[in-house]
């Protein structure tokens, strides 16, 4: 492809191979590289992206400084964001400015302020760059973004800077999750350590192949930290407590064939009663 960027505008096929998602991008029209003036201020929009309003496509690009005349706070914030630096290197930006890379050419909107003449957020805007995330939302278990019951903006601040998670525009990951999943917030007398690290230690944020958006099947996920159980097929030891296996040499607890860790340790996020998270 000669080093040129290609935008996906035909489709996306997601498949599985050896537990990995394989992406096949059906591409069409080449995107203008930063050396071309196709997106320069004063030029009309290039062949329209699907998310840009039809009535806006004949407008000129005017640059982020024009946007700042009315949206000064947002433009200042955007210039510090991960999005700004990323977009300005893709050929989608307007002379290094990034408002119109997502909102489309702003010439007509700038003339009279009509909000109908500027493209506002849609999931398709995000998916035009984040094609891998679109594929994740098509997996069996996923947050309902493609169904329209959630949007990327429910979790991400597209204009914002996050010092703690600079690549995701998430300031406090767990707090975003707890907006919907309040029942897991705590505080707990006995807290499961991964809760301090973040929900993403155990859960995929977009979509995955395991129930409850887990990053692995339930028992394998537990054994990533509690590896002692896997070290002895007869009687592993977790937290000082022997875990016998069916047909093994015995232990304080017998684990039946086909049972999962969560069949016994149900309060996996934390408990106010049991140090071992039984309930």
Model pLDDT, residue 262: 79
Note if the bond before 278 is cis, omega within 30 degrees.
no
What are the structure tokens assigned to 202, written together?
């155990």
pLDDT at 203: 93
Q: State the pairing for strand pair 207-208/190-191.
A: unpaired
Against a cut of 0.75, is the pTM above it? no
Residue 169 is predicted with a pLDDT of 55
Angle at 213 between CA 86 and CA 120, to 5 degrees: 40
Please identify every stretch of the chain with a pLDDT value under 70, giving residue numbers as ranges: 1-50, 85-98, 161-172, 228-258, 279
> Residue 194 has what pLDDT?
85
Give me the torsion for CA of 58, 62, 68, 69, rounded to 10°.
-90
C-beta of residue 196 within 8 angstroms of C-beta of residue 270: no
How far is residue 36's CA from residue 33's CA, in Å, rounded to a whole number? 6
* Domain limits, the chain: 31-65+83-120, 175-271
Distance CA 32, CA 47 (A): 10
**What is the dihedral sign for C-alpha 70, 76, 77, 82?**
positive
CB of 52 closer than 8 Å to CB of 119: yes
pLDDT 10s digits, 14-31: 333 333 333 323 333 333
pLDDT value at residue 170: 60
Buried b or exposed e, range 156-176, using 16+ CB within 10 angstroms: bbebbbbeebeebbbeebbeb
CA gap 170, 161 in Å, rounded: 8
């Amino acid at each position: 492809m000669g080093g040129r960027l290609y935008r996906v505008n035909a489709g996306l096929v997601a498949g599985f191979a050896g537990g990995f998602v394989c992406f096949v991008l059906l591409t069409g029209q080449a995107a203008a590289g930063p050396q071309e003036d196709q997106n320069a201020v004063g030029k009309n929009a290039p062949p329209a992206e699907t998310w840009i309003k039809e009535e806006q496509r004949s407008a000129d690009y005017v640059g982020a400084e024009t946007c700042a005349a009315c949206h000064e706070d947002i433009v200042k914030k955007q210039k510090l964001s991960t999005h700004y630096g990323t977009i300005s290197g893709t050929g989608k930006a307007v002379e290094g400015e990034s408002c119109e890379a997502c909102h489309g050419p702003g010439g007509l909107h700038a003339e009279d302020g009509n909000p109908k003449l500027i493209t506002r957020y849609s999931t398709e805007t995000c998916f035009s760059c984040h094609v891998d995330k679109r594929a994740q939302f098509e997996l069996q278990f996923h947050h309902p973004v493609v169904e329209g019951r959630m949007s990327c903006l429910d979790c991400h601040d597209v204009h914002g800077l996050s010092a703690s998670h600079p690549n995701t525009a998430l300031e406090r990951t767990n707090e975003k999750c707890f907006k919907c999943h309040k029942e897991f917030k705590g505080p707990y007398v006995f807290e499961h350590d991964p809760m301090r690290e973040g929900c993403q230690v155990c859960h995929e944020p977009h979509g995955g192949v395991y129930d409850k958006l887990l990053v692995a099947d339930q028992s394998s996920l537990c054994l990533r930290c509690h590896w002692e159980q896997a070290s002895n097929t007869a009687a592993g030891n977790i937290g000082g407590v022997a875990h016998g296996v069916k047909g093994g040499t015995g232990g304080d607890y017998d684990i039946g064939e086909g049972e999962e860790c969560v069949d016994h340790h149900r309060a996996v996020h934390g408990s106010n009663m049991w140090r071992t998270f039984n309930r």
